[in-house]
Amino acid sequence: MDDKPAIEINGLTKSYGRTGVLRGLDLKLDWGEVITILGSNGSGKTTLINIIGSLTKPDSGTVEFGGIGVRARATSIRRFIGVVTHEHLLYEHLTGYENLRFHADLFGISSADERIIIVARQLGVEARLNQLVGTLSHGTQKRIAIARALLHDPPLLIMDEPESGLDQEAQGMLDGVIRQLAESGCTVLTTTHNLDKGTAMSRRIAILREGRIVYDEDLKSSTGADGVKKAYASHSGESM
């Protein structure tokens, strides 16, 4: 599994009715790599996340995780993927601890309580674990959602606009978590429509437009953040 790329996507297409969302998307991601996919609203970022997370079936094309087809072995592959979406995916009538404990049971995590404490500390929500999720601020809910995604220590973390709803301090903490994960060899794929946030979060930037990757560069080997900004402006038609 290790000699294959973490994620390899070939010719991915997905339509909703007559609207084509992904139109032959190709992407390869190595182990330990951090990539940000930039794209305006409706460019297909969430659909891509849902397909990688095996929540949505593509119309055609393949997604492989470590050389294994995500659709063919969806149930077992989910154990290796952590997903953060726009929604917090938590039960509002349960406490943060109860939510995390429930997910620990679903993932079959042994010594769940220890793991819950570790991720809660990492995300700075330890003191809020005994409050009902519905009574927490949006930012704290988001932190617990990220804790949920990290609970089973996944080698691949995919996050859909993780910075949305987070204040400045929490965003700084999220950047720190992503750095830590990358250092520990975790592959991280994030999406955003915030150009500055995207270039701050990762070295590799891809631009998704009309269902295809139209730009894919490492900031160090390319023209840097300015180059990305120019490329984003020219591909999205937005002025800088």
Q: Return the residues of window 67-106 that contact another protein according to CB under 8 A.
A: 75-79, 81, 83, 85-94, 98, 102-103, 105-106
- Report how far residue 80's alpha carbon sits from residue 59's, in angstroms, rounded to the nearest whole number: 24
Closest distance between another protein and the C-beta of residue 103, in Å? 7
Give the strands of the sheet with 7-16, arranged side by side.
19-29, 7-16, 60-65, 68-69
Site string for another protein, 34-53 (x = CB under 8 A): ----------------x--x
User: Which residue, 108 or 237, has its beta carbon nearer to another protein?
Assistant: 108
Closest distance between another protein and the C-beta of residue 154, in Å? 10
Closest distance between another protein and the C-beta of residue 98, in Å? 7
Helices (H), 79-167: 96-106, 112-122, 138-150
- In the set 11, 42, 57, 238, which binds another protein (CB under 8 A)? 57
Closest distance between another protein and the C-beta of residue 50, in Å? 8
Q: Counting contacts by CB under 8 A, is residue 107 touching another protein?
A: yes
Closest distance between another protein and the C-beta of residue 239, in Å? 34
- In the set 11, 26, 30, 55, which binds another protein (CB under 8 A)? 55
Closest distance between another protein and the C-beta of residue 135, in Å? 12
User: Which residue, 106 or 127, has its beta carbon nearer to another protein?
Assistant: 106
Q: Burial, 202: exposed, middle or buried (Cβ in 10 Å; 0-12, 13-18, 19+)?
A: buried
φ and ψ at residue 96, rounded to 5 degrees: -60, -45
Strand spans (E) along the chain = 7-16, 19-29, 34-38, 60-65, 68-69, 81-84, 156-160, 187-192, 204-209, 212-218
Nearest residue to 62 (alpha-carbon basis) of 109, 114, 26, 21:
26
Cβ atoms within 10 Å of 216's Cβ, excluding its own: 17
Site string for another protein, 148-167 (x = CB under 8 A): x-------------------
Residues 12, 15, 18, 19: is their CA dihedral positive or negative? negative
φ and ψ at residue 124, rounded to 5 degrees: 70, 35
Strand partners, 208: 213
Q: Counting contacts by CB under 8 A, is residue 15 touching another protein?
A: no
Kindly list the residues in this chain that would bind another protein in the complex (CB under 8 A). Answer: 50, 53-57, 75-79, 81, 83, 85-94, 98, 102-103, 105-108, 133, 141, 148
